[in-house]
Amino acid sequence: MAVPRPIVTRHARFDISHITEPEVIDAILTRAAPLASGAAHLVVTPNMNHIARLQSSAEFAAIYERAGLILADGWPVVRLAKSLGADISGRSTGSGITHTLAHTPGGGRRVFLIGGSTPASLDAAAAIFRESGWVVESEQAPVGWLSSPDNVRSLADRVAAFDADLVLLGVGSPLQERVGVALLDAEGVTAVLLGVGASIDFVAGERARAPKWMQRLGIEWFHRILTDPGRLLKRYVGDVIPFLQVVRQSHASSGKWRQRR
């Protein structure tokens, strides 16, 4: 079997894990490999926006170098990885993982929720986790709060003191990945650190995910544009050219692109 070739951006070179979403969830719950207990693990979930940012940001690429697990969140990333030989069956999304965990018996496991668009949304999501048997701590982290190094250090101390098994970072990219690295380096933190974007709001019912049929067809992005066109339309359009550059670079790096020309 051929060895999968990496995705190659201007500042990063990485492989997408073949682990499926159910396997990720099981590893989080059991703290089995590749998320074994005793140490913190940063999990990143690249979509097209992440790939575009890795084309322009050395800082963001340095975060990816620290990740213990890289999962394909977006269908364009799945298709790119498959074209490079990766044996993956589909996406492993932060929103899907969060939703499943929120409705899976927690058995006293400890989850720290960071984010939510409003305090009420965060409280509603926390209540759902508690109903499922999770022990929950939370921090809404309003806009600008995590720009303070003192606040990030205080948050890391709270995560360590809480002895979290799982930290769900729902403050948007790239901030959630930056905070994830800070927690990864913090003394006493041994949790799985997962960036989940708007997933806390999804669990709370504050925002709706795309219908299942749109998710299956890989057009969840269209639903998101319809719900937030002012923010997302410009972002998605701006991500297309950098993503196509990465497709070309990745195949050229492996020699496959040159052979096709």
Q: What residues form DSSP beta bridges with 251? A: none
The answer to whether the CB of 20 falls within 8 A of the CB of 89 is: yes
Q: Which domains does the chain have, with CATH numbers?
A: 45-92+210-255 (no CATH), 103-204 (3.40.50.10330)
Spell out where the chain has E strands. 7-8, 13-14, 41-44, 69-70, 110-115, 135-139, 166-170, 192-195
- Distance, in Å, from the CA atom of 98 to the CA atom of 195, rounded to the nearest integer, reads 10
In degrees rounded to 5, what are phi and psi of residue 194? -125, 125
What does the longest C-alpha to C-alpha distance in the chain come to? 57
Is 169 in a helix, a strand, or coil?
A: strand
Q: Can you give the pLDDT at residue 258?
A: 41
Q: What residues form DSSP beta bridges with 192? A: 41, 166
The answer to whether the CB of 159 falls within 8 A of the CB of 190 is: no
133: Cβ contacts below 8 Å, ≥ 6 apart: 105, 106, 107, 108, 109
**pTM over cut 0.85:** yes
Q: Can you give the pLDDT at residue 2?
A: 67
**What is the distance in angstroms between the CA of the first residue and the CA of the last residue of the chain?**
25
User: What are the pLDDT tens digits along the chain (261 aa)?
Assistant: 568 899 999 999 999 999 999 999 999 999 999 999 999 999 999 999 999 999 999 999 999 999 999 999 999 999 999 999 999 989 999 999 999 999 999 999 999 999 999 999 999 999 999 999 999 999 999 989 999 999 999 999 999 999 999 999 999 999 999 999 999 999 999 999 999 999 999 999 998 787 888 877 777 777 777 777 777 778 888 899 999 999 999 999 865 544 443
